[in-house]
Amino acid sequence: MTGFDFGAIVNSFPYLAKGMQLSLLLTGLSALGSIVLGTILALMRLSGVRLFQWVGATWVNFFRSLPLLLVIFWFYFLVPVIAQRQVDAFQSALIGFVLFEAAYYCEIMRSGILSISRGQAWAGYALGLRYSQAMRFIVLPQAFRNMLPVLLTQTIILFQDTSLVFVVGLADFMTSAVTVAQRDGRLFELYVFCALVYFVMCYGASLYVKNLQKKIHR
Amino acid sequence: MIDIQNVSKWYGHFQVLKDCTSRVDKGEVVVICGPSGSGKSTLIKCVNGLEPFQEGVITVNGVSVGAAETDLPKLRSHIGMVFQNFELFPHKRAIENITLAQTKVLGRTPDEAVARGQKLLDRVGLGDLGHKYPSELSGGQQQRVAIARALAMDPIAMLFDEPTSALDPEMINEVLDVMQELARDGMTMMVVTHEMGFARRVADRVIFMDEGEIVEDATKDDFFGTPRSERAQLFLSKILHH
């Protein structure tokens, strides 16, 4: 091994970029799915219906008590059994992430909804809006806006966590870097590069969120 | 029009409304006053079902508010309500505040809704502020938008829950003027307020509440002339002489 070989990174760049593409796609789809599911769970927890409250609370407590790694494994082996057919690793990972992250987004949306005064929903009801309309047009847009920085922060964490798909052999950015590192015997270069990329992206995104937070709470 | 019969309400063991009975006829303006915590805001919120009540019957235009088979959203769409804290939707422009329920509840087209909204903004003297967000408006302006928002539904009655309590003194009159004009146009109104000047000028009847009870329900002249109850006299002396 002679010094830091940039060539090792440059040569494998297209492969790594493809990995990053997968990481971002998985993050984006997972975030989208789990924010939707999380919002539904939050509405269930806040509803007056005992059964819904129980389902929402149980979901949150269940998934927050499990290691994410276990959940990814679980769905990798479980989903094909349930679906009775081969399911590719990306799909099973996506399902695992959505169900798992929904527990966290649920709690964020719940506090977001609670931050909107009761009078706002009342004003909607007084105009003749139904529960679903009052939520959709009045409460949720405001809750979402108030919680946007926290939602994005959770999504940054989600982005980092997608690296765990390494265990099911999905070629995300991290896994691709590991593959190249081992193939070329360039562990040091690739791991340093990998760390740098994650750091720059996540730190950059967190700075953006900080800025956004200031804007929203101005 | 609005008929309140033997209504009682509890929060847990605490009784907030005690056997309240009254009515508001078509075109009538009824002012509800009383010390804070006397249940007047709760009573007015029972009228459109925002607050549930355990006993008694409230009917609006013959429809029972508390009945399980009543389509509450539909009933509410006919009853305008104005809140103490305006409750404009902060993420929507003034005009959007007024058009939202028109399109979603009444099924008007966006063009119709905007036209109606603009007319009402003109009427409350805010014709050129429709594009502003609530946070860009003063309290008095916000409350006038809120009144326009309620009127856009062509309500058969209007409920006002302390519409001027959250306003700076110099803005109170611009809101009261709009309300007075509404009353003059024959709107049926139920108004919770401490503005006794408004009650004197506009009200047909005054209801005085204390500790969840309707202590006095009298015509305006009787109420301000010779309130019978000691509690009403005490309240009036406190509110009028300071």
Average of per-residue pLDDT values in chain A: 92
* Of the candidates A169, A194, A173, A208, the residue with the CA atom closest to the CA atom of residue A27: A173
pLDDT at B50: 93
> Å from A112 to nearest chain B CA?
15
pLDDT tens per residue across span B149-159: 999 999 999 99
Q: Which chain B positions have a beta carbon within 8 Å of A124's beta carbon?
A: 89, 101
Q: Which amino acid is at B177?
A: D
| A122 within some domain | yes
Average of per-residue pLDDT values in chain B: 91
* Cα–Cα dist A10/A8, whole Å: 6
Whether residues A127 and B88 touch (CB distance < 8 A) is answered with no
Mutate to test the interface with A, among B63, B96, B100 (most CBs of A within 10 A): B100
What are B130's two structure tokens? 């429709």
| A111 within some domain | yes
Find how far residue A163's CA is from the centre of its chain: 12
Name residues 78-117 of chain A within 8 A of B (Cβ).
117
Residue B8 has pLDDT above 60, yes or no: yes
Whether residues B101 and A130 touch (CB distance < 8 A) is answered with no
Q: Which chain A positions have a beta carbon within 8 Å of B76's beta carbon?
A: 125-128
Mutate to test the interface with A, among B70, B87, B159 (most CBs of A within 10 A): B87
pLDDT at A141: 95
Mean pLDDT of A189-194: 90
| A24 within some domain | yes
Q: Please tell me the total count of domains within chain A.
A: 1
pTM of the model: 0.87
Q: CATH number of the domain at A137, please.
A: 1.10.3720.10
Domain hosting residue A131, numbered range: 6-216
pLDDT band for position A6 (50/70/90)?
confident
Q: Which amino acid is at A110?
A: R
Q: Can you state the percent helix, strand and coil of chain A, rounding each to 5?
A: 85, 0, 15
| A1 within some domain | no
Nearest-CA residue of chain B relative to A136? B104
Minimum-distance CB partner of A142 among B85, B91, B149: B91
Q: Which amino acid is at A51?
A: L
Mean pLDDT of A187-209: 93
Decide if B101 touches A, using CB distance below 8 A. Answer: yes
- Phi first, then psi: give them for residue B58, nearest 5 degrees: -120, 125
pLDDT band for position A169 (50/70/90)?
confident
pLDDT band for position B67 (50/70/90)?
confident
Residue A130 is given by DSSP the state -
